[in-house]
Amino acid sequence: MAIITRKIKGTEDVLPSDSYKWQFVEDIMRKEASVFGYKEIRTPVFEHTELFSRGVGETTDVVQKEMYTFSTKGDDSITLRPEGTAGAARAFLEHGLYNDGLPIKAYYFTSCYRYEKPQAGRQREFHQFGLEIFGTAAPSADAELISIGKAIFDRLNIKNLQLEINSIGCPTCRAEYQKALIEYFNQYKEELCPTCLARLERNPMRLLDCKSPVCSKIAESAPTVLEYICNDCKVHFEAVKKYLDSLKIEYKINPKIVRGLDYYTRTVFEFVSQDIGAQGTVCGGGRYDGLIEELGGTHTPSLGFGLGMERLLLLMEKQGIEIPLPPSCDIYIAGLGEQAELKAFDLIKQIRQSSLIAEGDIAGKGLKAQMKYADKIKAKFSMVIGDEELIKNEATMKNMQTGEKTTVRLDEQFFSDFFAAYIENDSKSLLDMIK
């Protein structure tokens, strides 16, 4: 027997028995995004490596350690997208969306790829729901972006989420902060882990979120960025807080929030849960006012967030949030004999044209096997058509739960007979629920 090829480490299959959960969550996200005026954008799964080197940052862990990069036959360096923002920003520039009237609001569902250790809620191929706003420096945009995340979590009935916010300033004031961090951590060079030592000169803010117990302890007493931000950044941050207060969105100021991607400026935020272990950030984002300029465009203040789908579904499972099951088959029609099978196919077509779910045999099964299959797919009704039913031009429709039977015509009256029995069945179910 041939060896079965298995999925690659760090990837997961979404099976038909689980895909409805994704669809339910995605539907809510689409609706909320639409209410706030966002339209969908879809970008390629791979881009020129330069896009991420320039946009995400040469010194970031993502670019240095985690990207899936390869060369094409034409010797172009190509990278599977590690995140969604850079591709959306590239599309914004390439297609001149800035001419459509700013701000541009876009959302996307995207798969991302990072080479890192797989763990619960974090895979090498993972999926994100993302929002991007291009072309506004107003603090009200920051608050609106956060409010969409809050609205989605509320719609999904997710509890115990903590919104944490911070300002990491602009490039000018952050430069002073980075000097202070380097000076502080230089005192502990002998104790820092190898990763933090490598980050110290290149990207000192990343030392603040190191998971090493030793480095975390040292970072507790490090200077905070809020001590160094300039007056303009302070005014912006205070305005963001006022808007959040007006929306009655509770938040905690966490001066230790930093970003692994270089394009972030000013407001950064996270929605954090304690229910899914160390990887508790479900949604993270903020402002990236310099990204479009870094990619060759004019200065275009922008912001966005990414929400991890796997982590969100894991959190919903941990909190016992039930996702409604998808609708089951409304009727299964079995045909015995060639003419009866053709008739069954015609009736099934009529039902499907009314957006109801109808199934019949497409595997050459006998009647007993077909009825077992109808039971397995939880068909609400079943009906068998044979020679006798064709002669009489009527058949018996059986309620698979109650066993109740109803006679229906097989001519042009079929659908009205079927639908009347279907509605009656639903009404009885509703009455039983009320009782």
Residue range 212-230: mean pLDDT, rounded: 90
Residue-averaged pLDDT of the chain: 91
Residue range 393-416: mean pLDDT, rounded: 93
CATH no. for 331-423: 3.40.50.800
Q: Please report, to the nearest 10 degrees, the dihedral formed by the alpha carbons of residues 272, 273, 276, 281 taken in order.
A: -10
Q: Where are the domains of the chain?
A: 19-170+229-318, 331-423
> Which H/E stretch holds residue 39?
strand 39-40
Residue range 140-165: mean pLDDT, rounded: 97
Distance (Å, whole) CA 23 – CA 83: 21
Residue range 123-131: mean pLDDT, rounded: 95
Residue range 97-117: mean pLDDT, rounded: 94
Pair 410, 390: CB distance under 8 Å: yes
Sign, CA dihedral 10-84-152-329, equals negative
In the three-class reduction of DSSP (H, G, I as helix; E, B as strand; rest coil), residue 318 is classed as helix
What pLDDT is attached to residue 430? 37
Residue 434: is its pLDDT beyond 80? no
The CATH classification of domain 19-170+229-318, taken from the options 3.30.930.10, 3.40.630.30, 1.10.3720.10, 2.40.50.100: 3.30.930.10
Residue of higher predicted confidence among 422 and 301: 301
Residue 427: is its pLDDT beyond 60? no
**pLDDT tens for each residue of 228-262:** 999 999 999 999 999 999 999 999 999 888 775 66
Residue 65: is its pLDDT beyond 90? no
| Angle subtended by helix axes 19-35 and 309-318, to nearest 10 | 110
Q: Which two tokens stand for residue 106?
A: 């876009």
